[in-house]
Amino acid sequence: MPIITYTQDDGTVRRVDAAAGLTVMEVALQQGVSGIAADCGGALSCATCHVYVAPDWFDRLVPASEDELAMLEFTFDPQPNSRLSCQIEIVPALDGLEVAVPARQF
Amino acid sequence: MTAGSSPQSELRIPPHVSLDRVVWFDFRHDAGLHADPHARLEELRRAGPALFTPHSRALTGPGTWIFTSSAAIRAIFQDPETFASGGVRPFGQLIGDSWPLIPIDIDPPDHARYRRVLNPMFSPARMAQLEPAIARRAAEIAGPLIARGDCEFIADFAQPFPVSIFLELFGLPLERLRDFIGFNEAILKGEGEAQVAAIRGLRDLLREEILRRRKQPSEDLLSELLTARIDGRAFDDDELTGLAVTLFLAGLDTVTSTLGYMFLYLAQAQSAQSLLRDKPELIGGAVEELLRMFNVVMTARRATRDTVIDGVEIRKGDNVALPTSLISRDPAEVESPDEADFMRVDNRHSAFGYGIHRCLGSHLARRELGAALRCWTSTMPPFTKPAQVRPVSTGIGVFSLARLDLTWA
Ligand code: HEM
Ligand code: FES
């Protein structure tokens, strides 16, 4: 199983096994990673599943769709490496992916 | 939001509904709902996971399904192809117009096209700019009440406060405050002629303002809607009307109602109120927790095809009522759901809905609620409510307190 590392805002680092086919948001909720609200459940309407992707991983992800790009503006503190975790599907090639959870989602 | 009422003679149980699921829950006249909507919904949860009431929640349709587990409600919210919003609130149709409420009554694929244009207008960054104005309005409305020693919180604060913010956003003169409150009440709580007249009145007023902005654009949201582009074109008149009416209806009553229950709670729970007075840093957590405890929306969907939810057969055309409170207080998801804990971590409630229609205005709503709590726990004296007065709720699509008397020394 791919392993994903979430760095919570309090500094806690969570390395978790992630089943392929789920999204980075779904794994976070299942594993109790703190700080990802995911209010809309992955429907691209809330932008409360915001994460910052480690720079050397950012370009390896499938790029954000236009809808996701528009929605990133709806996040609290968008940065160049921002993504919505509900839009990142876990595939074996993402083994080792590192994301940071922002201080706040709204 | 509901429109009109259904003739009681239509009450019947369709053949595909098994009798052991039937509850005679009357959205309009249920005494329990009027006494305490959140407790009444929990009672329905205990009655079973899938209920059917022959009463209609909205204008049309043979009765209404109510699923009571968070899992089933979430599944319905997540499947807009099967559970559509189109035509659920036919306000335009009621007055013979063709505009739908946008985006709340729009289904995929058009829905996402509208949200793409609207989302940036309600982003956290944009709403943060409004924060000083929101705080100022709260102070202006609450301040003059102090010397009185009491108030009727709904009419004196919870109604005018969000309406004044709406006027600010839309660049409308504050003198229109009472007109807008009147329309809002008559549309969401009224029936028949009065309701129809109010929809017309609101439409005319908003159209007039849209025309004015066409001639003389300014900085407000209406002007922004006029210059916005959807697939490379401007919104047409029907779209502009549907958008303006929706923003008005979705953004006022919800805030008023949530404020009502929040302040009813704080008036009764003195220790929670003094906690916020001593520790204003808890206000953010309090907003979330009170939003979770007091979900005010019971929205609806209509099945576009036969389907099965939780092993229950749903037929095309069936109506489903979706009380979000049953997600936010589901013991399967939340520990001690009926206890307020301002320090709850990862408080994942559904006050703002779920799925593609999840609230557009949440960032504005959260700032309004926060400003109200901050104002009332810093500049206002500790408040209580006369013990002998029982709170009464009204409303189907949005529950709200009919009135809330507060007193202070
Ligand atoms: C505490 C206050 C509020 C609550 C509890 C609330 C709740 C909700 C809920 C539950 C929905 C989903 C309805 C459905 O799925 O059928 C919704 C949608 C919506 N809300 Fe809010 N709301 C609030 C404040 C606001 C404000 C201030 C605005 C101002 C712009 C707003 C604008 C909207 C709009 C436009 C939609 C439709 C979104 C869509 O269809 O994509 N709401 N709201
Ligand atoms: S969970 Fe709502 S946008 Fe990702």
On chain A, the residues whose CB falls within 8 A of the CB of B345 are 34
Cα–Cα nearest to B68, from B85, B53, B83, B56: B53
Cβ contact, residue pair B346, A71, below 8 Å:
no
Tokens in use for B13?
């149980």
A53 in contact with ligand 2, CB cutoff 6 A: no
Give the best residue of A14, A39, A75, A86 to mutate against chain B (max B CB count within 10 A): A39
What separation in Å is there between the alpha carbon of B115 and the centre of ligand 2? 14
- CA-to-CA distance for A82 and A69, rounded, in angstroms? 9
B357 in contact with ligand 1, CB cutoff 6 A: yes
Nearest-CB residue to A74 (from B77, B123, B346): B123
Per-residue HEC secondary structure of chain A comes to CCEEEEECCCCCEEEEECCCCCEHHHHHHHCCCCCCCCCCCCCCCCCCCEEEECHHHHCCCCCCCHHHHHHHCCCCCCCCCEEEHHHCECCHHHCCCEEECCCCCC
Is B362 at the interface with chain A, CB within 8 A? yes
B343 touches B109 (CB < 8 A): no
Q: pLDDT tens across B189-208, in order?
A: 888 899 899 999 999 999 99
Q: pLDDT tens across B356-377, in order?
A: 999 999 999 999 999 999 999 9
- CA-to-CA distance for A38 and B12, rounded, in angstroms? 39
Q: pLDDT tens across B144-165, in order?
A: 999 999 999 999 999 999 999 9
Q: What is the ipTM of this complex?
A: 0.92
Longest dimension (CA), chain A: 32
**Is the pLDDT score of B3 beyond 50?**
no
DSSP B155: I
Tokens in use for B120?
């940036």
How many residues are recorded in chain B?
Answer: 409
Tokens in use for A29?
């909720």
Q: Which residues contact A96 (CB under 8 A, 6 or more apart)?
A: A2, A3, A4, A5, A57
Average pLDDT over residues A35-41: 95
How many cross-chain Cβ pairs, A to B, lie less than 8 Å apart? 64
Three-class DSSP category at B373: helix
CA of B104, closest atom in ligand 1 = 40
pLDDT above 90 as % of chain B: 83
On chain B, the residues whose CB falls within 8 A of the CB of A75 are 124
Cβ contact, residue pair B116, A37, below 8 Å:
no
**Is the pLDDT score of B7 beyond 60?**
no
| pLDDT of res. A2 | 95
CA of A47, closest atom in ligand 2 = 3
**Is the pLDDT score of B4 beyond 70?**
no
pLDDT band at B10 (very low <50, low <70, confident <90, very high): low
Angle at A40 between CA B334 and CA B185, to 5 degrees: 90
- CA-to-CA distance for B367 and B259, rounded, in angstroms? 12
Euclidean distance between the first and final Cα of chain B, in Å? 37
The whole-model pTM stands at: 0.95
